[in-house]
Amino acid sequence: MRFKEILEQLEEKRRQFLQMGGPEKVQRQHARGRLTARERIEKLLDEGSFMEMGLFAHSDFPGMEDKTPADSLICGYGLINGRRVAVIANDFTVLASTNAKVNLKKLLAFKKQVKEDVQVPLIFLGEAGGARMPDCQGSREVCDLTGYNLDGLRPEYTHFRKQPFIFAALGECYGVADFQANLADFVVQVKGSAISVSGPRALGRAIGQTYSGEEMGGWEVHSKITGIADRVAENEEDCFRIIREYLDYMPGNNSELPPVGGVPEGSEERMARILDILPENRKRVYDMHRIVECIVDGGNCFELKPDFGAMLITTLARINGEAVGIIANNPIVNMGATDTDALDKMMSFLCLCDSYNIPLVFLHDTPGHMVGREAEIKRVGARVVNALQCLFQVTVPKIAIIVRKTFGQVTVNMCGMGGSPDFLAAWPTAEIGFMDPLIAADVVYGNLPEDERKKEVDKMIGDSSPYPAAGAYYLQDIIDPRETRNYLCRVLGIVRDSRDRGLSRHYLANWPTKF
């Protein structure tokens, strides 16, 4: 065969495989309001930057060679805003991107290469229907499928946080796609998609349940109840925007510092408004988001899990261009008392920031942990201890500021006294103690006449002020609230100039991603 014929054959095979499942399947995907896998990659990456790995892979099931282009999984490298990333995309037009031996082999090999050699952020564009039948049925087949490994590693079900791993749920995500979502550092779920271990059809036949995909694993389930979804996207275009924004805060891998951004004009001016937000009455609530927005560059935040454990804010932001992770109690929700969802959310965020060298800022205003029978059923004690174990293994710089109240064990969980902060300061409005002084006084002096009781209450409130703690050097400073941004800028400058520049020792790299 002449070179011309060989090259023409190559071009024809490439053309056939690039058509994915064919025009009819592509049209069906569009009719559902969804892009194809290749269109998604084109929308997400810088124009013309995608380099594919494994285009000519196909099913090893007899007779399926020409019907399974790329074996329904597209892998490769490209650029986002000039930065190298790796991409895996389920091709739903080919057998609903169900997984079988070659498909899984390709996934494993590519993830191993990204993890061990290339070490760039990995983005998984998910839409898959679970296991492929009959390819996976039978004792030999299931052993081939589950027993396949590369040098004894199982990168399909492991994520050691060497580089950021992002999962986007763009349609039905069942089986392996669900497991990938639960491995990822960051999950964005498009409205109308579903993430669950089993699809409705298999579920109905196996155990007789007739829930829809939306009921099983829709965006409201995972953004409000399970906490698996870090952000919700209105549509696919919004999803790609969210991914790009998230990557702006992330290093390429865990050996690098996060990228430094420009400081928007007027960022300093917001601090003048901070005293208008904090109520003078200690009993009144407020929205901590507004305090955070005063402190960070341009008032811009990238919040994770905003509707899950909402009494605790976990957000990425920048201060003087430096990426930071902020953990802040929000008194407008449950007075800022943390429940078990909030503790899980905190652990997830601690793992993220510590793994990717992002300094942590803690803002205290909480009366404690939520307690009671419901909390005990949800294992609040175990969650408190797990969160402490997680916190004590954090090795990025930790900066804590006590805005208002911080009582009891939650003081330690929020990296206050006993939580090993690297820098600890308070506003003069801070109250520190075992419990709310009003409650403590009622317990101790509740039987006294009202005038005597009031004197004792006032004394307890006074004893809770930050000055005794600062006098004993449990606090490094008490600062004017309007100086908070300046204080953090200076501290972050010290971190940047330190010997290790704030790089983590990554003790939490293997901590479970979801709880």
Sorted by where each begins, the domain ranges of the chain are 3-247, 268-430+466-497, 436-464
Burial (0-12, 13-18, 19+ Cβ within 10 Å), 276: exposed
Question: Does the pLDDT at position 489 exceed 90?
Answer: yes
Encoded tokens for 345: 């959310």
Cβ neighbours of residue 302 closer than 8 Å, sequence gap 6 or more = 245, 246, 249, 315, 316, 317
pLDDT band at 221 (very low <50, low <70, confident <90, very high): very high
Task: State how far the Cα of 239 lies from the Cα of 166, in Å rounded to an integer.
Answer: 11
Q: What is the pLDDT of residue 212?
A: 81
Q: Do residues 444 and 456 lie in contact, with contact meaning Cβ atoms separated by under 8 Å?
A: yes
Highest mean pLDDT among 12-16, 95-99, 397-401: 397-401
Q: What local confidence, expressed as pLDDT, does residue 137 receive?
A: 52
Mean pLDDT of 139-159: 55
Which CATH superfamily groups domain 3-247? 2-enoyl-CoA Hydratase; Chain A, domain 1 (3.90.226.10)
Which of 175-184, 246-255, 334-343, 443-452 is least confident? 443-452
Beta-bridge partners for 61: none
Confidence band of 87 (pLDDT split at 50, 70, 90): very high
On whether the CB atoms of residues 5 and 11 are closer than 8 A, the answer is no
In terms of pLDDT, which residue wins out, 141 or 367?
367
pLDDT of residue 150: 47
**139 pLDDT above the threshold of 50:** no
Q: Structure pTM?
A: 0.91
Q: Which region among 305-319, 320-334, 389-403, 463-477 has the lowest average model confidence (pLDDT)?
A: 463-477
The stretch 158-165 carries a mean pLDDT of 90
**For residue range 27-71, what is the model confidence (pLDDT) as tens digits?**
999 999 999 999 999 999 999 999 999 999 998 888 888 889 999
Mean pLDDT of the chain: 89
Which of 425, 419, 433 is closest to 465 using CA atoms? 433
What is the percent of the chain where pLDDT is above 70? 88
Reported as a pLDDT band with limits 50, 70 and 90, residue 164 is very high
Average of per-residue pLDDT across 206-222: 81
Q: Are 179 and 200 within 8 A, CB to CB?
A: no
Q: Which residue has the higher pLDDT, 444 or 234?
A: 234
**3-class secondary-structure state, position 513:** coil
Residue 59 CA, distance from chain mean position: 34
Looking at residues 325-353, what average pLDDT do you find?
96
**Residue 13 CB coordination number (10 Å):** 14
Burial of residue 91 (CB within 10 Å: 0-12, 13-18, 19+) is: buried
On whether the CB atoms of residues 176 and 99 are closer than 8 A, the answer is yes
Average pLDDT over residues 411-423: 94
The pLDDT of 234-263, averaged and rounded, is 97
- The correct answer on CATH 3.90.226.10 for the domain covering 268-430+466-497 is yes
Summarize the confidence of residues 343-371 as an average pLDDT.
95
Please identify which residue in the block is written with the tokens 């307890």.
460
pLDDT-derived band of residue 144, with 50, 70 and 90 as boundaries? Answer: low
What pLDDT, on the 0 to 100 scale, is given for residue 192?
Answer: 95
User: Is 77 or 3 the better-scoring residue by pLDDT?
Assistant: 77
The owner of tokens 């196909």 is 58
Predicted local distance difference test score (pLDDT) of residue 241:
98
3-247 and 268-430+466-497, same CATH topology: yes
Q: 401 near 362, Cβ under 8 Å?
A: yes
Q: What is the mean pLDDT of residues 444-469?
A: 73
What is the rounded CA–CA span in Å between residue 324 and residue 166?
A: 19
pLDDT given at position 140? 47
In angstroms, the Cα distances linking 41 to 90, 129, 182, 219 are: 11, 20, 22, 22
- Whether residue 94 has pLDDT greater than 50: yes
Q: Taking residues 492-508, report their average pLDDT.
A: 91
pLDDT average, residue stretch 412-419: 94
Which one has a higher pLDDT value, 275 or 211?
275
Inter-CA distances, 296 with 62, 166, 238, 263, 332, Å: 59, 25, 24, 10, 20
Give the mean pLDDT of 482-493.
96
Residues in the chain: 515
- So what's the pLDDT on residue 392? 96
pLDDT at 408: 86
